[in-house]
Amino acid sequence: MTILSKVVPLFILFIVLAVAAFIGYAAYTIATDIAEKTSKKMEQKNISFGKEGMKIGVKEVKTENYVDATQSLLVKAWNYSSWPAYKSRFWNKDNKEKEQPQKARTPYTRSSSSGKAKA
């Protein structure tokens, strides 16, 4: 056998190993790049990954700001609500004789179930 016939399989082996190494290196760099970008995006949202596991950070809200926001929502809800049929038993006692009996509430019916549209 000639030396060339012994060396050709060795060169083919080196070429196959080089291609496999290049593909492995490309996959590794892509995976680490994606992991790094994902980690940065998660840190912006106060989520971090570590050896202990995932940690979720909570933004600090001062008690005064929390109470103000809650009170504001309650006041808005109170102002936008109306109770037209509500009569307190503690006030408006002198108007009880003048009050008319209220009609019973009719049950809710859907206009789409009857097949007729209201104009």
Q: Are strands 47-50 and 53-56 parallel, antiparallel or unpaired?
A: antiparallel
Question: Is residue 27 in some structural domain?
Answer: yes
Domain-embedded: residue 107: no
Question: Is residue 43 situated within a structural domain?
Answer: yes
End-to-end CA distance of the chain: 100
Are 70 and 62 in contact, with CB atoms under 8 Å apart? no
- Domain contains 70: no
13 lies in some domain: yes
Give the residue among 114, 79, 30, 1 at the shortest CA–CA distance from 38: 30
Domains of the chain: total: 1
Over 50: is that where the pLDDT of 63 sits?
Answer: yes
For 111, residues 6+ apart whose C-beta sits below 8 A from its C-beta are 117, 118
pLDDT at 3: 84
Percent of the chain with pLDDT over 70: 67
Q: For residue 104, tell me if it sits in a domain.
A: no
Q: How confident is the model at residue 86 (pLDDT cuts 50, 70, 90)?
A: low
Range of the domain at 25: 3-52
Average pLDDT over residues 96-103: 56
Residue 59 belongs to a domain: no
Taking 50 as the threshold, does the pLDDT of residue 119 lie above it? no
User: For the whole model, what pTM was predicted?
Assistant: 0.42
Residue 102 forms part of a structural domain: no
Average pLDDT of span 47-76: 82
